Every structure is written in C-alpha cells, then in structure tokens.
C-alpha cells in the first residue's frame, strides 16, 4: 500500500490542480472531474498506474487535447517557467520576416508590438511571421497582430503567418482571427502570396474560398447556393479572385465574391 499512498499524494498535488483549473475556466463540470478522479482512484485500488486526469477527460470527450495543452502551458507560465521569446528579423524579397522563437503571451506582447511599430515606421508594410519555433500563443499575443494588420493593409501590405503548430492555429481559430489572417505551411507560400493585394483574397471582411464549376463562366464563394448542385469532382478552386479572373471566370452576381 506504500506505493498506492504515494500515487494518491501525487494525484492530489499534480492532477487535482488541473481539475480545479478546468472547472474554474468553465471547460468542464465539477461532476466531469469527480468522475475522472473516480476512474483514477479505481485504477489505484486495482494496483494499476492511473491515467492522467487530462487524458481521462480527453477520452471521455469532456475536453480536447489542445485545451489541455493550453492549460498545462498556462500553469508553466504561472510557475515562471518557459517565458522566453526570441525575436529575429530577416528580409526575404521586400518582406520583413519576423522569427518568433518561444512563447508569445502577455509577457511578450509589448515587445512584439514595439517590433511591429518600428517596422511600420521604417516603411515595411509586408511582414511575414515565421512561427515554426513558436511553441505557445495566447489571445494576448494575438492582439499584437490584430493591432497592426489594418495598418499594414492600408499600406498595401499585410501580416502573414507560416509554420504555425496546431495549438497556435487552434488559438487563432477560437478567437475568430483565422477568418482574416492568412496562414501558410511554408515561407515560400507566404512570400508568394504578397504578390497580390489582400483584397484579392478577401470578400466581405473574410478570407474567401473561390470556386467554379468547370462548365460555367462564373466563379463563386464556396458557400454560394449555386454550388450546391455541383459535384466535388467538377469543382475548380482558385487561390484568389485574380486567379479566377485569369482563368476566364467572372464573379457570380448572386454571391458577389
Ligand atoms: Zn455565386
């Protein structure tokens, strides 16, 4: 029983906190956490190693893994671990590439804001963020981007992103920001996208998906009712409105892309 008591103490110290946090954040009901703790206790009573509380909550579909990871990251910040963000700058075809290495949160929001302010003052409207080494991003970090994206676009440029990990992407999705900030897998894709003004990618304030059926002269927003009857095999997708026009398509009068 010596080992069992040790495990119980470990649960109380390590995992119980997670339970408290998810309830406080409204991410789970107290009963969900109680049930998950009961699963852990049952495992210990059975002399088996208990699953982590977070894993149980994920298995039981109470939370998704991204939320758990975010909470664990927040705990690390609260404990003063992993606060470092290194920002590097380089140029790539008239685009300022800002390399974000580490964590972008409320402790580094101002640093990034100053970098962006300096870039704008130096006349750089085209900024691409290299997020391949960005390990954590929260809403405070995102606010620096939101603050400057309109200014960059007013100068004919944009802020674009590449190499985001799934958690950072999830943060942008959750905040509704991915509807109007362009994200790419690779640096080359991001740099290439600067060739067109952002308006060529956007409709009604959101990034659009432009589509046509091969036998029609029009192109549409992907959600246009006209496209409902078109088979997927018959759909042609375009990177931008310009790409659609260059392929000889004209904007649909109904969805007005
Ligand atoms: Zn249409």
Backbone angles phi, psi at 235, to 5 degrees: -90, 140
The whole-number pLDDT of residue 48 equals 86
Give percent of the chain with pLDDT exceeding 90.
56
Average pLDDT rounded to a whole number, residues 72-99: 81
Residue 152: Cβ-neighbour burial (10 angstroms; 0-12, 13-18, 19+): buried
What distance in angstroms lies between residue 211's CA and the mean position of ligand 1's atoms?
Answer: 9
Residue 110: Cβ-neighbour burial (10 angstroms; 0-12, 13-18, 19+): exposed
Q: What angle do CA 143, 147, 149 make, to 5 degrees?
A: 110
Q: How many CA atoms lie within 13 A of 150 on its CB side?
A: 4
Mean pLDDT lowest among 41-45, 113-117, 128-132, 199-203? 41-45
What distance in angstroms lies between residue 205's CA and the mean position of ligand 1's atoms?
Answer: 17
Residues forming beta bridges with residue 82, ordered by sequence position: none
What distance in angstroms lies between residue 152's CA and the mean position of ligand 1's atoms?
Answer: 30
Q: In 3D, which of 161, 169, 156, 166 has the Cα closest to residue 145?
A: 161
What is the Cα–Cα distance from 241 to 33, expressed in whole angstroms?
49
pLDDT at residue 1 tops 70: no
pLDDT at residue 23 tops 90: no
Backbone angles phi, psi at 249, to 5 degrees: -95, 150
DSSP 83-122: --EEEEEEEETTEEEEEEEEEESTTTHHHHHHHHHHHHHT
Which pTM was predicted? 0.67
The whole-number pLDDT of residue 72 equals 77
What distance in angstroms lies between residue 180's CA and the mean position of ligand 1's atoms?
Answer: 20
- Taken in order 37, 38, 42, 44, the sign of the CA dihedral is positive
In which residue are the tokens 């606010």 written?
A: 143
What distance in angstroms lies between residue 223's CA and the mean position of ligand 1's atoms?
Answer: 8
Q: In 3D, which of 103, 173, 158, 171 has the Cα closest to residue 128?
A: 158
pLDDT band at 77 (very low <50, low <70, confident <90, very high): low
pLDDT at residue 10 tops 80: no
pLDDT at residue 93 tops 70: yes
pLDDT per residue over 205-245, tens digit each?
A: 899 999 999 889 999 999 999 998 899 899 999 999 999 99
Arithmetic mean of pLDDT over the chain: 88
What distance in angstroms lies between residue 75's CA and the mean position of ligand 1's atoms?
Answer: 47
What distance in angstroms lies between residue 252's CA and the mean position of ligand 1's atoms?
Answer: 4
pLDDT band at 4 (very low <50, low <70, confident <90, very high): very low
The whole-number pLDDT of residue 113 equals 93
What distance in angstroms lies between residue 193's CA and the mean position of ligand 1's atoms?
Answer: 24
pLDDT per residue over 94-148, tens digit each?
A: 999 999 999 898 888 899 999 999 999 988 899 999 999 998 998 888 988 988 9
Give percent of the chain with pLDDT exceeding 70.
91
In which residue are the tokens 């956007």 written?
A: 202
pLDDT per residue over 162-174, tens digit each?
A: 999 999 999 999 9
User: Is residue 35 within 8 Å of 1, Cβ to Cβ?
Assistant: no
pLDDT band at 82 (very low <50, low <70, confident <90, very high): low
């Amino acid at each position: 029983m010596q080992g069992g008591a040790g495990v119980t103490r470990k649960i109380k110290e390590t995992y119980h906190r997670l339970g408290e946090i998810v309830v406080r954040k409204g991410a789970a009901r107290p009963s969900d956490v109680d049930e998950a703790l009961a699963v852990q206790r049952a495992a210990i009573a059975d002399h088996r190693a208990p699953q982590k509380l977070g894993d149980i909550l994920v298995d039981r579909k109470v939370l998704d893994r991204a939320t758990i990871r975010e909470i664990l990251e927040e705990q690390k910040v609260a404990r003063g671990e992993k606060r470092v963000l290194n920002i590097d700058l380089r140029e790539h075809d008239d685009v300022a590439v800002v390399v974000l290495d580490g964590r972008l949160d409320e402790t580094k929001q101002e640093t990034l804001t100053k970098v962006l302010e300096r870039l704008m003052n130096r006349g750089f409207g085209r900024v691409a963020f290299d997020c391949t080494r960005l390990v954590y991003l929260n809403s405070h970090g995102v606010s620096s981007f939101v603050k400057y994206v309109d200014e960059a676009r007013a100068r004919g440029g944009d802020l674009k992103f590449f190499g985001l990990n799934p958690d950072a992407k999830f943060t942008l999705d959750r905040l509704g920001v991915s509807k109007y900030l362009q994200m790419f897998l690779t640096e080359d894709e991001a740099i290439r996208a600067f060739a067109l003004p952002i308006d060529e990618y956007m409709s009604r304030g959101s990034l659009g998906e432009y589509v046509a059926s091969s036998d029609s002269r029009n192109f549409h927003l992907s959600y246009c009712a006209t496209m409902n009857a078109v088979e997927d095999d018959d759909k042609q997708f375009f990177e931008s409105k310009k790409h659609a026009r260059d392929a000889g398509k004209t904007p649909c009068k109904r969805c007005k892309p």
